[in-house]
Amino acid sequence: MTLATAQGHDRDHWQALAVAARARLESRLFIDGRFVDAARGGRFQSINPATGAPLAEVSAGTAEDIDLAVAAARRAFRSGAWSKLPPRRRMDILYRFAALVDEHAEQLAVLETLDMGKPIADVVAGDLPAVIETIRFMAECIDKIEGAVTNTESGVVHMILREPLGVVGAISPWNYPLLMAVWKIAPALAAGNTVVLKPAEQAPLSCLRLAELFMEAGGPAGGFNVVNGLGEVAGKALALHNDVAKVSFTGSTEVGKLILQYAGQSNMKRVALECGGKSPQVFMGDLPDLGAAVTAAYRGIFSNMGEVCNAGSRILVERGIYGEFIERFVAEGEHAYVPGDPLDPATTMGPLVTREAQQRVLGLIETGRKEGAKLRFGGGVPRNAGAGSFVSPTLFTDVRSDMTIARQEIFGPVAAVMPFAGVDEAIRIANDTIYGLAAGVWTRDVNTAFRLVREIEAGVVWINCFDEGDMTQPFGGWKQSGNARDKCFESVVSYTQTKSAWLRLAAQP
């Protein structure tokens, strides 16, 4: 059953698939091409956030398991079974890998929804197509990676070769469990490296299946290993490991800073960071279409429950349209996303990932109230929440840049609308943050648009749209949002290193 057939299922069908997926759930570690228990036998519980019920007992890897996985990855790398395959053979295997993800789309979608609470319709229409496209794009890049011959004196040939790094450690978050992992794994593998992945403990299941599919596609044992476990145990051991050449991390800014320290404390491994955000959307008074702008504003913060690194969480609206903008936001945005059973394809908003996440977001909403922001709707737990960790879509207006809800990454469905007067003030507020991941600017005037694009400190700026892109778009942040770029061709190149080969030709008689 492929992604195309999965589009048509109703709730009963998805629930039946969920029962089937749970019956054959694999929750051990995937090391050297097979599932194994954690060396110390530890396990942790994965909870279904929609119901609060236990979902699986997952093997909890420790430093010993990381050692085993890195050793397997190193053996696979050194054997050349992957790194030295002819490029087109490696491409074939990655294309087959993408096809297998498509063939197992239903199972992967169900695991993602049960584990993390994401609406099944979003997984099927958004996450999985993007996962498949990422693998295919990175496969296409393989034989496009080129070295260079530089312009030297005539008695010399100087070649700059590009070679894989070795073992790549990937540490991923839970908000798009498969996609964020694949943004690392696919370019790393494409460049000829082998991988050890430590998924987030809140959503540990789907990536285990992914690693198995890579093997089924023809990948070598040890090429792609998955060690679940707690961040401060398994993640830390991976980032500290002396045989890991690069650690590619997506997650919070706080942990990103620790990863840099671990690299310094161990082997100076390369560190790629994709971290948090507090992205502004700037709505100028002359924007072309207020309806489209308001829709983009609430979608930008309520989709995926607001658990999006580049969520448009700061909504800056010029004073001339402020009243009308808010009126439309309240009228259309309050009921656009209704929390419900994420296995129902009609549901647009699932629970937050854990009870702790729910409590943290509710705490920040309370802080917003106390600091004087105006609560326009939401602000609590929906009536039908049961034991699920739901939070209602929430709108605050009259937010100031110094308020906690304008500064801290909430990672929940909480919109903060802030008024401004003129483009200078918009730029000042937009940049008044430690983050610099993304931004949206809305204006009819091309001069204003480009002034905002030039002045806003962010890795991506959308003009008169939000959260769009394709695989050619470098995705990553400025400032404390990180230092890496995912998705694009440069991403594959970042998993290689140069080797300079300097050849002196024999002197000609």
- Positions marked active-site: 274, 309
Binds ligand NAD (CB under 6 A): choice among 49, 61, 187, 231:
231
Task: Label the pairing between strands 314-318 and 374-377.
Answer: unpaired
Could you say whether residue 200 binds ligand NAD (CB under 6 A)?
Answer: yes
- The residue (of 240 and 423) whose beta carbon lies closer to ligand NAD is 240
How many CA atoms lie less than 13 Å away from 401 in the CB half-sphere?
A: 16
| Contact set for ligand NAD, span 85-114 (CB under 6 A) | none
d(CA 393, CA 336): 9
* Helix, strand, or coil (residue 68): helix
Could you say whether residue 175 binds ligand NAD (CB under 6 A)?
Answer: yes
- Which residues touch 323 (CB under 8 Å, ≥6 apart)? none
Could you say whether residue 117 binds ligand NAD (CB under 6 A)?
Answer: no
| Contact set for ligand NAD, span 7-46 (CB under 6 A) | none
Could you say whether residue 438 binds ligand NAD (CB under 6 A)?
Answer: no
- The residue (of 192 and 251) whose beta carbon lies closer to ligand NAD is 251
Binds ligand NAD (CB under 6 A): choice among 9, 90, 198, 314:
198
Beta partners for 399?
Answer: none
- Which residues touch 130 (CB under 8 Å, ≥6 apart)? 179
Binds ligand NAD (CB under 6 A): choice among 235, 280, 436, 440:
235
Interface region with ligand NAD, contact rule CB under 6 A, candidates 53-61, 105-113, 162-170, 229-237: 229-237
- The residue (of 100 and 414) whose beta carbon lies closer to ligand NAD is 414
- The residue (of 100 and 349) whose beta carbon lies closer to ligand NAD is 349
- The residue (of 114 and 410) whose beta carbon lies closer to ligand NAD is 410
Could you say whether residue 467 binds ligand NAD (CB under 6 A)?
Answer: no
| Window 354-393: contact mask with ligand NAD (x via CB under 6 A) | ----------------------------------------
* Helix, strand, or coil (residue 129): helix
Could you say whether residue 482 binds ligand NAD (CB under 6 A)?
Answer: yes
Chain mean position to CA 422: 34
3-state secondary structure 176-221: CHHHHHHHHHHHHHHCCCEEEEECCCCCCCHHHHHHHHHHHCCCCC
- The residue (of 222 and 412) whose beta carbon lies closer to ligand NAD is 412
Q: Which of 111, 13, 101 is nearest to 56 (CA)?
A: 111
| Contact set for ligand NAD, span 144-173 (CB under 6 A) | 171-173
Binds ligand NAD (CB under 6 A): choice among 127, 318, 409, 467:
409
Could you say whether residue 127 binds ligand NAD (CB under 6 A)?
Answer: no
**Secondary-structure percent of the chain, ordered helix, strand, coil, rounded to 5:** 40, 20, 35
Q: How far is CA 232 from CA 27, 198, 237, 255, in A?
A: 20, 11, 8, 9
d(CA 300, CA 318): 18
Could you say whether residue 174 binds ligand NAD (CB under 6 A)?
Answer: yes
In total, the chain counts a number of residues equal to 509
| Shortest Å, Cβ 148 to ligand NAD | 30
- The residue (of 49 and 235) whose beta carbon lies closer to ligand NAD is 235
Max CA distance (Å), the chain: 91
d(CA 106, CA 103): 8
| Shortest Å, Cβ 350 to ligand NAD | 16
* Residue 117 φ/ψ region, left for φ over 0, alpha for ψ in the -120 to 50 degree band, beta for the rest: left
Could you say whether residue 411 binds ligand NAD (CB under 6 A)?
Answer: yes
| Shortest Å, Cβ 306 to ligand NAD | 11
CB 183 within 8 A of CB 134: yes
How would you label 235-249 residue by residue, b for 16+ Cβ within 10 Å and e otherwise?
Answer: bbbbbbbebbbbbbb
Binds ligand NAD (CB under 6 A): choice among 119, 219, 222, 276:
276
Interface region with ligand NAD, contact rule CB under 6 A, candidates 13-21, 142-150, 208-216, 272-280: 272-280
Could you say whether residue 494 binds ligand NAD (CB under 6 A)?
Answer: no
Interface region with ligand NAD, contact rule CB under 6 A, candidates 144-152, 195-203, 215-223, 389-397: 195-203
> Tokens 């790398």 — which residue?
77
Binds ligand NAD (CB under 6 A): choice among 252, 367, 404, 431:
252
Q: And the tokens for 374?
A: 């105006």
| Shortest Å, Cβ 235 to ligand NAD | 2
Residues that bind ligand NAD (CB under 6 A): 171-175, 180, 198, 200-201, 231-232, 235-236, 239, 250-252, 255, 258, 274-277, 309, 409, 411, 437, 477, 481-482
